[in-house]
Structure 1
Amino acid sequence: MDIYNKNGRFISILSDYGFKATFGNEADTTFLKKALQALINSPVPIKSVEFVKNDISAITIDSRSGIYDIACVDENDNHFIVEMQLSEYPEFIQRMKFYALHRFNTLVKKGEYKFENLPRIYCIGILAKSIFPQITDYHNIAILRNIKNETIDDQMAFVTVELDKFKKDENEVITDLDKLIYTMQNLHTVTETSQFPTFWNEDWLKKAISEVDIRNMTPEQKLAYEMAISANALAVKNENKKIEEAKRTLIIEAVTKALKRGKLSIEEIAEDNNVTIDFVLFVQKELSDSQ
């Protein structure tokens, strides 16, 4: 997913800068409150949100240059952790469990290890890539249930949005959740307000859009944005390099295994692993030199 449009007027909410300016806007939480309500599928409006310090260092190199976790609490003491993930991360749910359980343990410790009346924890993951290929829904809320689908416990909920599964056109968007996802997917592709869908005039979305409108940015904000783009580009380059190195390692291991078995010709090994004959010969020489 290409979230940067050099000729665009609006910064993608999925970008590091855009995510902080909208979801992480401490000066005005109008957008965040409505977004959280939509993400947890609650009919009850969230009246207030207070940001809290995240005790876990959440800086990891990925396509967003650094994960920016949002941790906040509403007026009913519901705890929220929101995290964005643009790159491939099949094990993302494991990281969500880590964050949620860390918050759970913190609350238990703060309550002097008492387990009654614990507040609810919502761990929300917004992902550009799918992590549940067996599930068709783009929005899922998971709690602890038994094999009969009966609720065992709902104190901790895991909410995921897989953006690449959302295929609705503008005229199909009805719910606040769909409005949120559509905006995250498409805002950065728009150049003029005349292209706005009607629901972008709703107060919560209008406020978020104004925060990522390049024409509204101060020189300091523009500098911060350009620095974020630069850092993101470097992170993507490093990530791609890591991926290519990992792929190369796996291919070398497969070719080495085939050479040691000695049942296939050089040509067959090259064809089976989609590499050149010269590559197989190189691995063969390295294997020979190491013996």
Structure 2
Amino acid sequence: MEIANDNGRFISILSDYGFKVTFGNEVDTTFLKKALQALINSSVPIREVSFIKNELTAITIDSRSGIYDVACIDENDNHFIVEMQLSEYPEFIQRMKFYALHRFNTLVKKGEYRFENLSKIYCIGILARVIFTQISDYHNVSFLRNAKNETIDDQMVFVTVELDKFSKEKNQVQTDLDKLVYTMKNLHTVTETSQFPEFWSEEWLKKAIAEVDLRNMTAEQKLAYEMVLSANALAVKNENKKIKEARLEEKKNAVIKALKAGKLSNEEIADYNDTTIEFVFAVQQDLVNVK
């Protein structure tokens, strides 16, 4: 899914900057409250929300590209963790469990290791790609159930949205969840207000859209946006470098193993490991020099 802002009007909500100024907007939480209510499939409005220190970012290593974590609590002491994931990540649900369990342990410690009356935890993952290939629904709410689908415990709830599965046109959008996902997936492709669907005039969406409208941004906000783009570009470059180095090291180790086995010619080793004969000779020379 492309999130580039090539039309010169709207920044994608899926971008680092876009996610921060909408979901992570600490000045005006109108959009966040309505979005959370839609994501957890609740009929009860969230009236107040306060942000809490996201302790998770300090203990995990992740690419900065397209990721901005939000942690907050509502007026009923329900805890919310929201995470955006743009790239392929089949094991994302494992990371969600890690985040939720970390929050669970924090609550238990604060309660002096008591387990009664624990606050509810909603761990929400918004994914650009598909991770549940066996499930057709783009939105899933999960908690602990038995084999008969009877609820065992719903203190910890996992919510996932897979944007690639959402294909509704604007005239098919009905629920607040549909409105949210349609907006996240399509806003950055729109160039003029004449293309706006009617539901974008709703207050919660209108406020979010205004935050990512380049025409509304001050010089300071545009500078902040440019700095985020620059930081992301550097992060992606460094990450690609690490991946390239890791793959090279993996290939080198495979060649070393083949050379030590002595069963294949250098040409065969190069062919089997999808590398050049010069690379094999270089690795072979390194082995000789070490000896």
TM-score (norm 1): 0.89
Q: Deviations over 1:55-105 (max 9, x none)?
A: 34448551437x532111122221101122223444433332232122212
Counterpart residue type for residue 141 of structure 1: V
Secondary structure of the residue that 1:241 maps to in structure 2?
Answer: helix
Q: Deviations over 1:104-160 (max 9, x none)?
A: 122222223221111110011222334444444332222122344332211001222
The whole-number CA distance in structure 1 between the counterparts of 2:221 and 2:146 is 49
Residue matched to 1:103? 103
CA contact (8 A) 2:96 2:125 kept: yes
- Deviation, 1:221, is 0.8
Counterpart residue type for residue 3 of structure 2: I
The whole-number CA distance in structure 2 between the counterparts of 1:137 and 1:246 is 36
Q: How many residues align?
A: 290
Q: Does 1:277 align with 2:277?
A: yes
User: Which range moved further: 221-230 or 175-184?
Assistant: 175-184
Distance change in 2, residues 1:237/1:2 (3 Å) = farther
Q: Does 1:70 align with 2:76?
A: no
Distance change in 2, residues 1:240/1:49 (3 Å) = same
Q: What are structure 2's unaligned runs of at least 5 residues? A: none
Secondary structure of the residue that 1:47 maps to in structure 2?
Answer: coil
- Deviation, 1:237, is 0.8
What is the percentage of aligned positions where both structures have the same residue?
75
Q: What are structure 1's unaligned runs of at least 5 residues? A: none
Distance change in 2, residues 1:7/1:268 (3 Å) = same
Residue matched to 1:3? 3
The whole-number CA distance in structure 1 between the counterparts of 2:194 and 2:286 is 62
Distance change in 2, residues 1:140/1:220 (3 Å) = same
The whole-number CA distance in structure 1 between the counterparts of 2:274 and 2:172 is 43
CA contact (8 A) 1:144 1:151 kept: yes
Query: How do 1:32-111 and structure 2 match up within 5 A?
Result: 32-58=32-58, 60-64=61-65, 67-111=67-111
The whole-number CA distance in structure 2 between the counterparts of 1:88 and 1:161 is 14
The whole-number CA distance in structure 2 between the counterparts of 1:247 and 1:92 is 22
Residue matched to 2:140? 140
CA contact (8 A) 2:144 2:151 kept: yes
TM-score (norm 2): 0.89
Counterpart residue type for residue 155 of structure 1: Q
The whole-number CA distance in structure 1 between the counterparts of 2:65 and 2:56 is 18
Secondary structure of the residue that 1:87 maps to in structure 2?
Answer: coil
Secondary structure of the residue that 2:124 maps to in structure 1?
Answer: strand
Distance change in 2, residues 1:95/1:175 (3 Å) = same
Q: Deviations over 1:5-52 (max 9, x none)?
A: 244201111112111110011222121111111211222222222222
CA contact (8 A) 1:62 1:87 kept: no
CA contact (8 A) 2:70 2:82 kept: yes
Distance change in 2, residues 1:147/1:219 (3 Å) = same
Distance change in 2, residues 1:272/1:48 (3 Å) = same
Secondary structure of the residue that 2:270 maps to in structure 1?
Answer: helix
Counterpart residue type for residue 62 of structure 1: S
Distance change in 2, residues 1:222/1:271 (3 Å) = same
Counterpart residue type for residue 146 of structure 1: N
Residue matched to 1:266? 266
Query: How do 1:165-180 and structure 2 match up within 5 A?
Result: 165-180=165-180
Counterpart residue type for residue 286 of structure 1: D
The whole-number CA distance in structure 1 between the counterparts of 2:64 and 2:34 is 26
Distance change in 2, residues 1:268/1:130 (3 Å) = farther
Secondary structure of the residue that 1:82 maps to in structure 2?
Answer: strand
The whole-number CA distance in structure 2 between the counterparts of 1:273 and 1:43 is 56
Residue matched to 2:253? 253
CA contact (8 A) 2:7 2:190 kept: no
The whole-number CA distance in structure 2 between the counterparts of 1:149 and 1:254 is 47
Residue matched to 1:214? 214
Counterpart residue type for residue 253 of structure 1: N
Distance change in 2, residues 1:277/1:25 (3 Å) = same
